[in-house]
Amino acid sequence: MTESQTIQSSMVETRKFPPPARFASQAHINSPAEYQRMHRLSIDDPEGYWRETAKSFVWFEPFTRVLKWDPPHAQWFVGGKTNVAYNCLDVQIDRGHGERTAITWEGEPGDGVTLTYRQLRDRVGQCANALKSLGVKKGDIVTLYMPMVPELMIAMLACARIGAPHSIIFGGFSATAIADRVNDAKSRIIVTADGGWRRGSVVPLKQNVDEAVKSCPTVQHVLVLKRCENEIAWTSGRDHWWHELVDSQPAACPPERCDSEDLLFILYTSGTTGKPKGIMHTTGGYMVYTAHSAKYIFDLKPDDVYWCTADIGWVTGHSYITYGPLQNGVNVFMYEGAPNHPDWGRFWDIVQRHRVTIFYTAPTAIRSFMRQGDAIPAKYDMSSLRLLGSVGEPINPEAWMWYHTRIGGERCPIVDTWWQTETGGAMISPLPGCTTLKPGCATKPFFGVDVAVVDQSGKEQPANTGGFLVIRKPWPAMLRGIYGDMERYRNQYWTQVPGFYFTADACRRDEDGNFWLMGRVDDVINISGHRIGTAEVESALVSHPAVAEAAVVGVPHEIKGQALAAFVALKRGQTASDDLKKALLDHVTKEIGAIARPEQIRFSEALPKTRSGKIMRRLLKELASTGEVKGDTTTLEDFGVIASLRESDEG
């Protein structure tokens, strides 16, 4: 039996929500026929479609060819020279929109900043000049480890302006995780802050950087934003205050003429091995795809106040806080802190005060809000909202319905956008003015996206049969590789189903051509919409002196979607205890970050293995989810192991 034959879908969801007439009447695309016509065109003649689309961007030198496809290596808009920061900022100013608001930011303590497109461009210019003064040159990878403050967006755009690829590390990652990423990218400079506010406390970002840099021989400079005024250590010569270095720079900084295929950024994400992958995105294709998809999926209009609640440290924040929305000239709202600070009404209070029109979040957040009850959102006037979005994991129909009624007032379409760090932009999503929505369904492919549900041999599955989701044609925002490991790029994405890009997601296509995502088929777990490889957590656990062997699996979790369960075999002479459990949890937090902390830890003398020595994760999964093992155990080497795991305490 092939893997795909074992993928079964048991979800039956028949509710349908056509676009509200009021929304459709003002939407960029408002009829299914128009969507079908454009999608057909984009698939039958992708080069023609993208050539036409790329015309509305500023190219310093025109491209000579739309696509060069030498599988699995793609080049888009070949020979074109452009600059993404220029297209985000200067182009808006040249269109006469320099005085429009680009960013509205609110800090967790309640402080705020607004910047027009002109002000943002000037700040980006100053930061770019500061980076240059520290010796940053085109092609140097700059690491950013910052809170959700305007300066994070300014720093990333400054990098783009001078052609220095950024590598943004989510502020929740630990010193060890920073060091791994900085060393992989060989960064010479890190931009950080003294701290960031989270739930009323200071996250000690600079302290984590100081710790990391001890094992990062390449780092020469650390640029530090003063945000929380918490006490920090200082290394003179290496450390520089943002307000001293950046604020004194001239605003003018000519944009670098970047080649369409110059690296724009790398972003580390989890895979099936212990080592995170630096996903590479380049300039021209990413620029065009993020702007184009943001325009149509979020139906962006100049008056929109657009709020994506993601952290810029994840791909959602790259593509749909910074690059996509700014190129569309909207007012991007940014919030620094936690959704429940000072209480669970914070987000809705923001929507009310800032008259947010588009709100894009993750299912895990929606489930957390649901749990707090309907009375909280009901207290706020959210009539400004016109569109909602979801991303990061499949949204369960119950959460979808709650979002639709309690937040969207039954008037806002919901765009459930399926995509990945690797895809660069949303690939399957409703277009809100024309797609009939089904709760829990990401619906239809975006323009230029040729997706299919196939079995392992690449044969398309019939309607309503589960299989692997693959992408059959290259697309402009596709990853160009894994930094420093092109072999892994080929093996991971292009060899599983010959000839196609392998998403590692299970999926089914229904009788109306809608795609229903069913979760990952590899050892990557989606926790609160964040991707964690089980192998990474295993390698963190075995690096603890008490641990001989560890296996980590995903289990369903009411709020997070999935959580981690760890099975740990201790070294001889070690005894299981609550103290050891706590020590292991702290150790994982130190090695990776709090997001990777397992929900359960079970101890045993050994792990269940096949006779050939392979850990039987399927059994562990079953045990962690149900407390029992009823599945096939015929290949198990020693059944006693299961009995002892079952009896061991769960944490």
Binding site for ligand PRX (CB under 6 A): 269, 315-316, 391-394, 416-421, 442, 503, 505, 517, 520, 526, 531
Q: Are 332 and 103 in contact (CB under 8 A)?
A: yes
CB of 209 or CB of 441, closer to ligand PRX = 441
Edge-to-edge strand ranges of the sheet holding 101-106: 112-116, 101-106, 331-335, 305-308, 358-361, 387-391, 414-417
Considering the complex, what minimum distance in angstroms separates the CB of residue 23 from ligand PRX? 20
> 582: Cβ–Cβ under 8 A, 6 or more apart, which residues?
none
CB of 134 or CB of 559, closer to ligand PRX = 559
d(CA 509, CA 453): 7
Torsion of CA 552, 554, 559, 560, to 10 degrees: 70
CB of 202 or CB of 426, closer to ligand PRX = 426
Q: Residue 625's closest CA among 600, 643, 604?
A: 600
Q: Is 414 exposed, middle or buried (0-12, 13-18, 19+ CB in 10 A)?
A: buried
CB of 289 or CB of 418, closer to ligand PRX = 418
* Percent helix, strand and coil across the chain, each to the nearest 5: 35, 25, 40
CB of 510 or CB of 650, closer to ligand PRX = 510
Q: Tokens 């089904």 — which residue?
A: 438
Considering the complex, what minimum distance in angstroms separates the CB of residue 10 from ligand PRX? 16
CB of 269 or CB of 604, closer to ligand PRX = 269
Phi/psi for 227 (5° steps) reads: -120, -50
Considering the complex, what minimum distance in angstroms separates the CB of residue 62 from ligand PRX? 31
Instruction: Write out 535-571 in H/E/C secondary structure.
Output: HHHHHHHHCCCCEEEEEEEEEEECCCEEEEEEEEEEC
Considering the complex, what minimum distance in angstroms separates the CB of residue 441 from ligand PRX? 9
Considering the complex, what minimum distance in angstroms separates the CB of residue 360 from ligand PRX? 11
Return the SS3 of 441: coil
> 266: Cβ–Cβ under 8 A, 6 or more apart, which residues?
141, 165, 166, 167, 185, 278, 279, 280, 281, 483
Considering the complex, what minimum distance in angstroms separates the CB of residue 392 from ligand PRX? 5
CB of 129 or CB of 423, closer to ligand PRX = 423
CB of 351 or CB of 507, closer to ligand PRX = 507
CB of 440 or CB of 608, closer to ligand PRX = 440
Considering the complex, what minimum distance in angstroms separates the CB of residue 520 from ligand PRX? 5
Considering the complex, what minimum distance in angstroms separates the CB of residue 442 from ligand PRX? 5
d(CA 565, CA 551): 8
Instruction: List, in sequence order, every beta strand (DSSP E) within 479-542.
Output: 481-482, 501-509, 515-520, 524-527, 530-533
Q: Which tokens in the block code for residue 124?
A: 């980006």
Q: Which tokens in the block code for residue 621?
A: 């999964």
Edge-to-edge strand ranges of the sheet holding 277-282: 239-241, 221-225, 189-193, 142-145, 166-168, 263-269, 277-282, 481-482
Considering the complex, what minimum distance in angstroms separates the CB of residue 310 from ligand PRX? 8
CB of 123 or CB of 531, closer to ligand PRX = 531
Considering the complex, what minimum distance in angstroms separates the CB of residue 545 from ligand PRX? 32
